[in-house]
Homo-oligomer: A and B are copies of this chain.
Amino acid sequence: MARASYHHGRLRETLVAHGVLLLAQKGIEGLSLRTLARKAGVSPAAPYRHFKNAQALAEAIAAEGFTRLRSTMLATMADPLLAGRTPLERIGMGYLSFAQRHPDHFQLMFSGRVCPDPGQPESALHQAGQAAFQALTDTIVEAQRQGLVAADVSPAELAVVSWSFIHGFATLLLAGFLDPQELNPGLSQAELADACQKLIRRGWGQKSTPKPRRR
């Protein structure tokens, strides 16, 4: 931890890296600029040479979260154990997996502590978020090519819908609003996710165009 030279050399990355760890250990409330400076072996004022304020540091940590979320989703896409799943199922599982393994990081990314006004759409946070979103859009295009998803709807719309659903599902799960057995018909999380996914694919509207009844 202790360093020889007066300058740290890689303080910015070190702060973000320790931020990710501290977040996992102490949660969002436990994340403090001073603590991170201490862990980096640096004075409390040093971080201000790299970040305008504590929120900017939190934004950088959140941006790193989006990068990792994207990596997790891509890894899940390539996981041979999930070969039987459709691309959209796989990427959704990646999203959920990240949210559940790094709940505090996930919450920070969307907690409003970050990016309150979209005045700076060029921020690293926005870019990292859009990159993750792009992975989802790419997956949808691929699913359309494979004939797994309706091809007559714009990928962007489909991406908005699927991201909205999976994000809401993850958030409500983390917040504990989907746990009680009273409301769910005693399903495990995987079963519930699966049921929802099937329901979405099918649509929940009344079957207004009565298909030729199978029987």
A-to-B contact residues, CB < 8 Å: 27-29, 55, 103-104, 107, 110-113, 115-118, 121, 126, 129-130, 133, 137, 147-151, 153-154, 156-169, 171-172, 174-180, 183-185, 192, 195-196, 199-207, 209, 211-212
Query: Roughly how many angstroms separate A66 CA and B7 CA in the complex, as a whole number?
Result: 50
Question: Closest approach, in angstroms, between the C-beta of A203 and any C-beta of chain B?
Answer: 2
B200 touching A133, Cβ below 8 Å: no
Question: Closest approach, in angstroms, between the C-beta of A88 and any C-beta of chain B?
Answer: 9
Closest B-chain residue to A154, C-beta based? B185
Task: Enumerate 21 A-B pairs (CB-CB under 8 Å) in ascending A order.
Answer: A112-B175, A117-B176, A118-B179, A121-B179, A126-B176, A133-B177, A149-B205, A150-B205, A156-B183, A156-B185, A157-B196, A157-B199, A160-B169, A160-B183, A164-B168, A164-B196, A165-B168, A166-B168, A168-B171, A201-B205, A202-B205
Contact of A165 among B129, B165, B185, B206 (CB under 8 A): B165
Contact of A107 among B112, B130, B180, B185 (CB under 8 A): B112
Listed from nearest, the 7 A-B pairs whose CB atoms lie closest are A203-B203, A168-B168, A201-B205, A164-B168, A167-B168, A118-B176, A164-B169
Residues of B within 8 A of A192 (CB): 157, 160
